[in-house]
Amino acid sequence: MSWISPEDAYLIFDKWREEQSPLQLVMKRPPGLRAVNSTFVKSVLPQSHQVLIAALVDGEYLNVAVSLEGAEYEYDDASAVLPEFAGGKWVCFLAANFPNGNRYIFGERAAAKA
């Protein structure tokens, strides 16, 4: 993955919001891993370092504010091989890395072929 600026990261989040791109979110937070298999970006708030997402939890979409305060960002295209995203078809990945060791990885799902 390649490092990108926070401004570029927020442009990607905004593109996903405009296009209502289907995403998967994997949150690596010691001691474990948490995955949200279906999520969409609802709102991008760069001034407050937040992205509001709709996350599928127990069969319903819940609005969740994801704090990105202090994050450094990495980006990669679909050629990346990320074990947390094995078995799916992807457009790109955006990772937010935090000073405390947490890592949130967003993967944009490729559209299903008709």
* Helix ranges restricted to H, the chain: 6-19
Tell me the CATH number for domain 2-109.
3.40.1570.10
pLDDT of residue 76: 96
SS3 46: helix
pLDDT tens-digit series, residues 39-56: 999 999 999 999 999 999
CA 32 to CA 93: how far, in whole Å? 20
**pTM, full prediction:** 0.91
pLDDT tens-digit series, residues 63-108: 999 999 999 999 999 888 888 888 889 999 999 999 999 999 999 9
Q: Work out the average pLDDT over 16-24.
A: 96
